[in-house]
């Protein structure tokens, strides 16, 4: 299965993507993790991305698309993947379509975690406090950067819901349920989409 997980910062996307990936036996591909890994590695990409990420802004489409294009064609992603944090703009979604189409593939499912915005700021600032106590704070988990991240989400990423809804592959799940309940709702959404795909395939075969 080729899955995209959408949701605002603080919606629990990363946690759920890791769980889903384990359950389904496919890799979780997080562009945030890839970009953060590029920073200490001292790569050119890392140098460009570092300051942009710290401000909470989006890294240029071209750069992220290049990373993803390479990653999703690696051997471990051959039978599927969960994209976490990508696409984040309509241009990225269109680029993803092109990459998949060129490889004769397509997305099976887009899952959106629905979370009340008022809950997000509190959640992230809490995560930041815990991470600081454990010595691995993220540079963009400050209140100022979070406000920019939410703004970017509203302006650039939220329109992806309509983009995928129009294609009939979007499912929304209530992200404010307990973690286990969100996980089971996501699995149920994927299963119902898989059943729909199977029916479509059966009805279009001669
Ligand atoms: P969040 O918890 O805010 O969703 P992520 O780990 O997904 O965090 O992303 C952290 C930062 O990495 C983003 O604020 C952005 O600067 C950069 N980033 C990650 N994915 C993308 C992307 N697809 N396009 C542009 N920038 C990205």
- 158 as an active site residue: the answer is no
Any domain includes 206: no
Please provide residue 60's backbone torsions phi and psi, each rounded to the nearest 5 degrees: -55, 140
61: left (phi over 0), alpha (psi -120 to 50) or beta: alpha
* Contact yes or no for 109/3 (Cβ under 8 A): yes
Position in ligand 1 atom list of the atom nearest CA 13: 4
pLDDT of residue 75: 94
Any domain includes 77: yes
Residue 153, classified by CB atoms within 10 Å of its CB into exposed (0-12), middle (13-18) or buried (19+), is: buried
Point out the catalytic residue in the list 50, 123, 127, 196: 127
What CATH number does the domain containing 166 carry? 3.40.50.300
Any domain includes 137: yes
Using DSSP, state whether 60 is helix, strand or coil. Answer: coil
Any ligand 1 atom below 6 A from CB of 88: yes
Please provide residue 83's backbone torsions phi and psi, each rounded to the nearest 5 degrees: -85, 125
Residues of the domain holding 112 = 2-198
pLDDT of residue 205: 63
Could you give the percent of the chain with pLDDT greater than 70? 99
Residue 11, classified by CB atoms within 10 Å of its CB into exposed (0-12), middle (13-18) or buried (19+), is: buried
Residue 152 alpha carbon to ligand 1 centre in Å: 10
Q: Kindly tell me if the per-residue pLDDT of 206 is higher than 70.
A: no
Q: How far apart are CA 185 and CA 179, in angstroms?
A: 10
Any domain includes 163: yes
Q: Kindly tell me if the per-residue pLDDT of 66 is higher than 70.
A: yes
Q: Kindly tell me if the per-residue pLDDT of 197 is higher than 80.
A: no
Q: What is the pLDDT of residues 132-175, one digit of tens each?
A: 888 888 888 888 888 899 999 999 999 999 999 999 999 999 99
Number of separate domains in the chain: 1
Any domain includes 17: yes
Any domain includes 203: no
């Amino acid at each position: 299965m080729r899955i995209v997980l959408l949701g605002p910062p603080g919606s629990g996307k990363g946690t759920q993507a890791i769980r889903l990936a384990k359950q389904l036996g496919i890799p979780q591909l997080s562009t945030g993790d890839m970009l953060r890994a590029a920073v200490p590695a001292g790569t050119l990409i890392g140098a460009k991305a570092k300051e942009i990420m710290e401000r909470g802004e989006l890294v240029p489409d071209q750069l992220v698309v290049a990373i993803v294009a390479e990653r999703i064609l690696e051997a471990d992603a051959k039978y599927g993947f969960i994209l976490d944090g990508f696409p984040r703009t309509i241009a990225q979604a269109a680029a993803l379509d092109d990459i998949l189409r060129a490889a004769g593939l397509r997305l099976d499912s887009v899952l959106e975690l629905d979370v009340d915005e008022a809950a997000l700021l509190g959640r992230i600032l809490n995560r930041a406090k815990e991470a600081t106590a454990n010595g691995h704070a993220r540079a963009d988990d400050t209140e100022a950067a979070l406000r920019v991240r939410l703004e970017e989400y509203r302006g650039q990423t939220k329109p992806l819901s309509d983009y995928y809804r129009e294609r009939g592959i979007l499912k929304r799940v209530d992200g404010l349920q307990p973690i286990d309940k969100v996980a089971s709702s996501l699995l149920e959404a994927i299963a119902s989409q898989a059943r729909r795909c199977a029916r479509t395939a059966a009805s279009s075969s001669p």
